[in-house]
């Protein structure tokens, strides 16, 4: 099977964006829609994504040329910044896995295309809890009221 890398120029049309579903883990679900120019055979081919040395299967949408990859990270390990997502077809993915098994440098294997996903980081809540802040404000008000009462009585 001839890969699309040799026959097509891929154009990014839909931006990738991270999605935070709830508590615990951070799920990043970038979506990509490609238009290809040139004689392409097998546009609905299987794709694989590599994010930070971990591989994930890419989900193909119902429409031709729509793909989505998702992965999750623990909040503590989900750093703010740019994640480079490298996409591979079956041929280059098998080369990538072979290089990993042999402890070879995987950066020399060219991806089909690369997408940068910007992640602003996770929010872990305020530095001071609202209960502590309310108690501190209550103590300040009590002190001001008590000192004003003492000043009036004196």
pTM: 0.57
The two three-digit tokens of residue 60, written as one number: 């193909």
pLDDT tens string, the chain, 154 residues long: the values are 333 333 223 333 334 444 444 444 445 555 555 544 444 444 567 888 898 888 888 887 777 667 778 777 777 777 777 888 888 988 889 998 999 899 988 888 899 888 888 877 777 678 888 999 999 999 999 999 999 998 898 7
Q: Please answer whether residues 38 and 93 qualify as being in contact, where contact means their C-beta atoms are separated by less than 8 angstroms.
A: no
| Lookup: tokens for 132 | 């502590």
Which pLDDT belongs to residue 44? 62
HSE (side-chain half, CA atoms, 13 Å) at 73 = 18
């Amino acid at each position: 099977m001839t890969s699309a890398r040799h026959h097509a120029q891929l154009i990014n049309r839909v931006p990738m964006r991270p999605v935070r579903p709830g508590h615990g883990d951070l799920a990043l679900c970038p979506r990509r829609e490609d238009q290809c120019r040139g004689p392409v055979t097998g546009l609905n081919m299987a794709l694989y994504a590599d994010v930070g040395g971990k591989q994930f299967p890419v989900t193909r949408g119902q429409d031709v040329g729509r793909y989505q990859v998702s992965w999750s990270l623990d909040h503590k390990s989900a750093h703010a910044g740019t994640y480079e997502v490298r996409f591979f077809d079956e041929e280059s993915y098998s080369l990538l896995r072979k290089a990993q098994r042999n402890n070879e440098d995987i950066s020399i294997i060219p991806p089909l295309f690369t997408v940068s996903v910007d992640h602003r980081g996770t929010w872990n809540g305020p530095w001071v809890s609202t209960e502590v802040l309310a108690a501190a404000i209550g103590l300040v008000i009590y002190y001001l009221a008590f000192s004003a009462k003492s000043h009036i009585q004196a």
